Amino acid sequence: MPIQLIVNADDFGYSHSVNAAVIKAHQEGILTSASLMVTGDAVREAVAMAKDNPSLAVGLHLALSHARSALPPEVIPNLVDLHSMFPASPIIASLKYFISGKARRQLTWEIQTQFETFAQYGIPLSHVDGHQHLHATSNVLPIVVELAEHYGVQGIRVPRDPLLTNLRVDASSLIQKLAVSMGHAYQVRLCNHFLKTSSLARTDLCIGSLMTGRMSDTYLIGMLERIQTGKIEVYFHPCIEDSGEPLGPNPGDLQTLLSPTLKEYVSKNCSLLTYAQLRNSEAA
């Protein structure tokens, strides 16, 4: 059986540059879905683009760090600063949600508001994932799973990026990759526990974290050649202009999504789909 491949772009709605790249990658490349930041500066443009491109599956990119909140700071003062900004560091944000009971109560309100804001845009809710993977932490994941099922979400990202396969393709940044993989192992255990009885679709592997900002066609083909079968999500951070951020969004991700070499490989060896199609295939 060929690889069942979901190709996603994170940070849809973050800026016009990201939005334009998402649509170009969907229309001309291999992109099948995108994850929407409902508090992004260009979210309304992204929603309009999604409605003009109904074949693009759109999910919720839950933003609880390095982003602006949906609720005002006076409602969630233990989560954000006076400018409605969450902590930039996902580690600091996670510690705050773990230590503070007030923060955990406010966290529920904020997560529900982000789900409800997405629902008000009137587009189907494909899947849910998290900015900096905070959706898969101990104080967030139970809330997310309950709300995802309530709002009719089809799938959820489990951040399981295969380290050993990655190192066989690209042996650089070993210490950084080990640190990321340790965090992933913890998150995968949480997902296995909280998703045991859930019907939300998830993939066997999720490629992207270990090469954020460096997702080339050569790297991805090398990974897929070694994996060969299963359900895989690959995610990118494309934009049309250089953001100046080393981890993205970046134009290089867009070029990879448009790569003729990668498109040819995927067409011969993979079945492109969305989380909704994956869930339907599992139910069949």
Closest CA relative to residue 201, chosen from 119, 124, 138, 283: 283
Query: What 3-state DSSP class applies to 68?
Result: strand
Query: What are the tokens at 239?
Result: 């934009």
User: Which string of DSSP letters, residue by residue, matches 126-178?
Assistant: -EEEEGGGGGGSTTTHHHHHHHHHHTT--EE------HHHHHHH----HHHHH
Residues 62 and 129: beta-carbon distance below 8 Å: yes
Instruction: Give the mean model confidence (pLDDT) for residues 24-52.
Output: 98
Q: What is the pTM of this model?
A: 0.96
Query: Looking at the predicted structure, is the pLDDT value of residue 9 above 90?
Result: yes
Alpha carbon 156 to its chain centroid, in Å, reads 9
Q: What are phi and psi of 62, to 5 degrees?
A: -60, 125
Chain mean pLDDT for the chain? 95
Name the band, by pLDDT with cuts 50, 70 and 90, for residue 254. Answer: very high
Query: What are the tokens at 199?
Result: 């019907």
Residue 59: per-residue pLDDT? 98
Structure confidence by residue, pLDDT tens digits, 184-227: 999 999 999 999 999 999 999 999 999 999 999 999 999 999 99
Residues 256, 252: Cα–Cα separation, whole Å: 6
Question: Domain 3-283 belongs to what topology?
Answer: TIM Barrel (3.20.20)
Instruction: Give the mean model confidence (pLDDT) for residues 245-272.
Output: 94
Query: What 3-state DSSP class applies to 203?
Result: coil
| Cβ atoms within 10 Å of 90's Cβ, excluding its own | 19
Instruction: Give the mean model confidence (pLDDT) for residues 77-97.
Output: 93
Instruction: Give the mean model confidence (pLDDT) for residues 62-79.
Output: 96
Residues 155 and 278: beta-carbon distance below 8 Å: yes
Residue 284: per-residue pLDDT? 66
Query: Looking at the predicted structure, is the pLDDT value of residue 182 above 90?
Result: yes
Instruction: Give the mean model confidence (pLDDT) for residues 129-147.
Output: 95
Query: Looking at the predicted structure, is the pLDDT value of residue 165 above 70?
Result: yes
Residues 23, 227: Cα–Cα separation, whole Å: 28
Question: Could you tell me where the beta strands, DSSP code E, fall in the chain?
Answer: 3-12, 33-36, 57-62, 127-130, 155-156, 205-207, 231-236, 270-272
Query: What are the tokens at 74?
Result: 């006076």
Asked if omega into 142 is within 30° of 0 (cis), the reply is: no
Domain ranges for the chain, please list them: 3-283
Residues 180 and 212: beta-carbon distance below 8 Å: no
